[in-house]
Structure 1
């Protein structure tokens, strides 16, 4: 399948029954500023660009939201349990971006999009959600790198050597270039 832009990616997701079921399940929680992101979208695009007939297995389904009023990690665990009760076969991971800035010692995020913009690599910094039967993409850095199979660090992980080392280690341990051989890894 040819993916050239955001609309092509949205159409590909719409046609994927499994992805739509995931998005419908997450939408039922009515979480503020909520997105299903990272590998959920990235792997779909790369699978299509590699003409794979089978979906590449995901270690988890990343659900992010933003609620600065309730930053207790236990709330995230309860939300994961709620999602598990709805779709027990899915490896859910729920994170409130209002507290995730502490992971890398950066300034607090102001939204889920801001949180995504601080993910490690550009093609991972992408989210999708179902909003009243309409698919929406959140792409802080656009889709060009994702759809060109280019992997490079987000600005946060490119500018500072300790952060860049996190990016390099992540790329080395993920082995994405073995799963998707058309990828172009940039350091």
Structure 2
């Protein structure tokens, strides 16, 4: 996943992420796997990336207000970058997911649990800053083979098929070489 750092925004986010002081903080999802797909497609590193997601896990305050305060701090820290950064507390996802997406969602126990529940297993990736001067720590619970092969299949850990189908359609509109596979 070292190619994800060729996207200068990913590199900047990982470099500065520790400054937020968030517990169990990770750079996740689209900004990582979409950078890989862009490079494979001969596109700019940042093409088609809608936002850059930060996950953290803080069970000490599950309020929307606390999450909004973290979001404001993240927006200020990354204000010089021409991107949208979204910071989400994975400890509170179960409180809003069903109302937002229409499916029940059991409580997570870590940010890594949230990464593992993305709709497409090949997109379940996260990077966490390593100690100064070291490579970031990779978390990819289903491995990287499907990411690099462009395989889109439903994640049994999040079996919300209509949501998967919409996500897969969106991905294929941007990267037509991706292939759909059944569960």
Q: Within 5 Å, which residues of 2 pair with 1:1-187?
A: 9-10=1-2, 12-88=3-79, 89-102=82-95, 103=97, 104-133=103-132, 134=134, 135-158=136-159, 163-172=160-169, 174=170, 176-187=171-182
Q: Secondary structure of 2:88's match? A: strand
Distance (Å, rounded) in 2 between the aligned partners of 1:177 and 1:25: 32
In the superposition, relative to structure 1, how do residues 183 and 105 fare at CA in structure 2: closer, same or farther (>3 Å)?
Answer: same
For residue 117 of structure 1, report the CA deviation from its aligned partner.
Answer: 1.1
Going from structure 1 to structure 2, the CA distance change for 1:25 and 1:59 (only over 3 Å counts) comes to: same
Structure 2, unaligned runs of 5 or more? 98-102
- Cα offset for 1:143? 0.7
Superposed displacement of residue 178, structure 1: 2.6
User: For 1:54 and 1:130, how far apart are their aligned partners in 2?
Assistant: 20
Question: Residue 39 of structure 1: CA displacement?
Answer: 0.3
User: Taking structure 1 as the reference length, what is the TM-score of the superposition?
Assistant: 0.83
Give the TM-score normalised by structure 2.
0.85
Q: CA RMSD in A?
A: 1.8
How much does 1:43 deviate? 0.6
- Structure 1: segments with no counterpart, 5+ residues: 1-8
What is the aligned length? 172
The equivalent of 1:5 in structure 2 is none
